[in-house]
Amino acid sequence: RFLAWMGLEISTMAIIPLMTQQHHPRAEEAATKYFLTQATAAAMILFASLTNAWLTGEWNISQISHPLSVTLTILALALKIGLAPMHFWLPEVLQGLNLTTGLILSTWQKLAPFALIYQIAPNTNQTLLITLGIMSALIGGWGGLNQTQLRKILAYSSIAHLGWMIIILHFLPNLTLLNLTLYILMTSTMFLSFKLSMATKVNSLATTWSKTPPLAALTMLSLLSLGGLPPLTGFMPKWLILQELTKQNLPITATIMAMTALLSLFFYLR
C-alpha cells in the first residue's frame, strides 16, 4: 500500500512541470488545482491504508478487506481519475493545459489509479461502483451539452467513459480493460488530430474541412466513435457492457446507461 501511494505521488509530481512549462496564469492555476486534488486523494489513500492496517493488520493491497478502508480507497482513487461526484477539477484543469499535456493527463495519468482500482474491485461494494458509474455517465453526458471548448468536451467525455468502465468492473474486469484500451486509443486520436489542426474551439473545427479534408473526416469519425455510434469501434464496449448488465439482472441500470450514451452522442453529433 505504501509503495502504491508513493508511485501515485511520483506520477503527480512528474506531470506538474509539464503543466507549468507555459508561464501562463491559466496553466499555473490548472497545475495548482491538479496538485491540491491529487495531494488530497493521496492523503486519503494513505489514511485508508493505515486504517486497514490498524483494523486487520494487513498492508497488502490485494488483501484489503475492511469495508471502511475499501470504500475510502475507491473514493480516493475516484478523486484521482475524476469520477463523478469528485469530477469538478477535471474540466477546469484540462482547459488550462495545452493539447499535448492534456493528452498525457487524459490517458497515461489514468493508468496507475486504474491498476489499483482493478485490484481492489473484487472486494468493493457493488452498489458503490454502480452509483459512481451512473453518476459519472450522467454528468459526463450533461456537462458536455453546453460546451464550446474542445478540451472541456473531452474532459466530460473522459468522465462519461470512466463511468462505463467502473460500472462493469465488479462483474467483468476484462471488459473494463477493453474499454480503457479503446478509450485511450480514441482519445489519443482526438487530441493529436486537434493538435494537427490547431483547434481548441468547436467553431475552429469548421474551417479544417477547407484546409485538410482527410484530417477533418478522421476527426469526425473519431468523435463519433468516442460517442459510441454503431458501427464504429466505440460502440463495441458499450454494447458488451449493456449486455453484461442485462445478464446480471440489472435492466434498469442498463437502460439508464444507454440513455446517458445518447446524451454524449448528441453533443458529439453537434
**Tens digits of residue pLDDT in 124-174:** 999 999 999 999 999 999 998 888 899 999 999 999 999 999 999 999 999
| Res. 270 pLDDT band, cuts 50 70 90 | confident
Q: Find out whether 132 and 120 touch, Cβ atoms under 8 Å.
A: no
Domain holding 127, by residue range, is: 1-269
Q: How many folded domains does the chain comprise?
A: 1
pLDDT of residue 187: 96
pTM of the model: 0.94
pLDDT of residue 208: 84
pLDDT of residue 93: 96
- Average the pLDDT over 247-255 and give the result: 94
| Res. 244 pLDDT band, cuts 50 70 90 | very high
Mean pLDDT for all residues in the chain: 92
- Average the pLDDT over 82-90 and give the result: 93
pLDDT of residue 1 exceeding 80 = no
pLDDT of residue 40: 96
pLDDT of residue 209: 82
Q: Find out whether 177 and 111 touch, Cβ atoms under 8 Å.
A: no
pLDDT of residue 269 exceeding 90 = no
| Res. 230 pLDDT band, cuts 50 70 90 | confident
pLDDT of residue 22: 85
pLDDT of residue 195: 94
Q: Find out whether 264 and 160 touch, Cβ atoms under 8 Å.
A: yes
Q: In the block, which residue shows the cell 450533461?
A: 142
pLDDT of residue 65: 82
| Res. 109 pLDDT band, cuts 50 70 90 | very high
- Average the pLDDT over 183-203 and give the result: 93
